[in-house]
């Protein structure tokens, strides 16, 4: 399955997919393209180091849909079949999402539906949650509302700060995302009215 990754920054989740792929854990995945909307994204260095094509598409000079159309044209050019949002700090248009219905995966640093949005760690701490974690889900038109594929839990410690909690959750993200992508690329995810069913190998 030809996969494109969309990222805006650090790209550690992108790296976890590269590493999984190089280990042979993603036998059905071909990471063909990285799209960034930030020229400074560290994800670019990771793509270069591993000889993955990348492109910067600027969003600051155009309307949301115009940006998305540009991204879609690139994805078409690369015959992309699945899209990974790995720290992509932009809301995608309805047009984009319907064009790739059930083919876009995102990772979020909380146990959704708890703590959606941009401040998941802070929100979990403010709510005195005793556990948090990460969620890989399909992307729909809402913010962090799509069908859940899998989750990993992390215990919240009484003295946790946003930094300590996020770094422990990140370790789990790097396990969860390759696992979910492997299931997706092996056609083992079935979306039902009750959520996502994981089919046997
Ligand atoms: C991760 O915490 C992910 O859950 C969230 O954005 C962050 C991206 O980190 N969606 P990285 O760029 O993959 O290191």
CATH of domain 106-201: 3.40.50.170
Could you report the per-residue pLDDT of 60-87, keeping only the tens digit for each? 989 999 999 999 999 999 999 999 999 9
Could you report the per-residue pLDDT of 103-144, keeping only the tens digit for each? 999 999 999 999 999 999 999 999 999 999 999 999 999 999
171: CB partners within 8 A, 6+ apart: none
Among candidate residues 108, 121, 137, 174, the one labeled active-site is 108
- The pLDDT value given to residue 65: 94
Output the residue whose Cα is nearest ligand 1's atom 2: 109
Does the N-terminal peptide bond of residue 113 adopt cis geometry, omega within 30 degrees of 0?
yes
- The pLDDT value given to residue 200: 96
Output the residue whose Cα is nearest ligand 1's atom 9: 87
For residue 14, name the pLDDT band (cuts at 50, 70, 90): very high
Output the residue whose Cα is nearest ligand 1's atom 14: 12
- The pLDDT value given to residue 73: 98
Domain boundaries, the chain: 1-100, 106-201
| CA 85 to ligand 1 center in whole angstroms | 9
- The pLDDT value given to residue 55: 98
- The pLDDT value given to residue 7: 98
Side-chain half-sphere exposure of 5, counting CA atoms within 13 A = 31
Q: Mean pLDDT for the chain? A: 97
Tell me whether strands 2-7 and 82-85 are parallel, antiparallel or unpaired: parallel
Q: Respond yes or no: is residue 59 known to be catalytic.
A: no
CATH of domain 1-100: 3.40.50.170
- The pLDDT value given to residue 137: 98
Could you report the per-residue pLDDT of 160-187, keeping only the tens digit for each? 999 999 999 999 999 999 999 999 999 9
Residues 28-44, mean pLDDT to the nearest whole number: 98
Residues with CB under 6 A from ligand 1: 7, 9-13, 86-87, 107-109, 170, 173
Considering only CA atoms, which of 159, 139, 158, 157 is closest in space to residue 149?
Answer: 139
Dihedral of CA atoms 180, 42, 99, 60 in degrees, nearest 10, equals 150
Q: Which atom of ligand 1 is nearest to the CA of 108?
A: 4
12-23 helix and 162-185 helix, angle to the nearest 10 degrees: 40
| CA 67 to ligand 1 center in whole angstroms | 21
């Amino acid at each position: 399955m030809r996969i494109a990754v969309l990222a805006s920054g650090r790209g550690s989740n992108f790296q976890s997919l590269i590493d999984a792929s190089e280990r042979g854990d993603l036998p059905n995945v071909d990471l063909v393209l990285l799209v960034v909307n930030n020229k400074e994204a560290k994800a670019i260095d990771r793509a270069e180091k591993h000889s993955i094509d990348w492109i910067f598409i600027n969003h600051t000079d155009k309307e949301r849909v115009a940006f998305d159309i540009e991204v879609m044209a690139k994805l078409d050019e690369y015959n992309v079949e699945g899209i990974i949002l790995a720290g992509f700090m932009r809301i995608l248009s309805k047009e984009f999402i319907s064009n790739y219905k059930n083919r876009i995966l995102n990772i979020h640093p909380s146990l959704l539906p708890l703590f959606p949005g941009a401040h998941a760690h802070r929100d979990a701490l403010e709510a005195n949650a005793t556990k948090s974690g990460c969620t890989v889900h399909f992307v729909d038109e809402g913010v962090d509302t799509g069908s859940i594929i899998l989750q990993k839990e992390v215990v919240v410690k009484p003295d946790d700060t946003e930094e300590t909690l996020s770094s422990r959750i990140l370790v789990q993200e790097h396990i969860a995302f390759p696992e979910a992508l492997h299931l997706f690329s092996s056609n083992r995810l079935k979306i039902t009215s009750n959520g996502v069913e994981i089919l046997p190998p």
